[in-house]
Amino acid sequence: MSKSKLVVTPVQACSAAPLVRRALTEQHAGELASAFKALSDPVRLRLLSSIASREGQEACVCDLSTGIDLTQPTISHHLKVLREAGLLVSERRASWVYYRVVPEALQRLSEVLLVESGAGVDA
């Protein structure tokens, strides 16, 4: 697990204009790079996908270690990175923390990578 500090901007704040439509500004590129950095770890992708593919796109942290050979603190660290990137939200209920996907954040990143017909308008 990487201990490097990840400075992130929640992806909800990013514009969703496809990067094939116009060249990204420096600020927008920085925001998007943070979001993609949160997705650049296989464990985080598996955790996100595990939550996203469940009914209600939600899971108890107690159910997320199945099939992932990592300690609970490591899993919690990765979930925190995804939360700080705006891809998950968390809520405590009694003894457990539940994580839910932010579909708008995934959708926004999906749209940024979208290849539209008629792209390439800038010279």
Interacting positions 61-100 with a copy of itself (CB under 8 A): none
Out of 16, 43, 60, 89, the only residue in the binding site for a copy of itself (CB under 8 A) is 43
Cα 22 to Cα 41: distance, rounded to the nearest angstrom: 28
Q: Which of residues 48-67 bind a copy of itself (CB under 8 A)?
A: 48-50, 52-57
- Residue 66 burial by CB count (10 A; 0-12/13-18/19+): exposed, middle or buried? exposed
Q: What are the CA-CA distances from residue 104 to residues 1, 6, 13 (Å)?
A: 27, 22, 11
According to DSSP, the β-strands at 96-101 and 88-93 are antiparallel
Answer for which of 10, 16, 24, 76 binds a copy of itself (CB under 8 A) is 24
* Residues at the interface with a copy of itself (CB under 8 A): 19-24, 26, 29-30, 32-34, 36-37, 39-46, 48-50, 52-57, 101, 103, 106-107, 109-115, 119-123
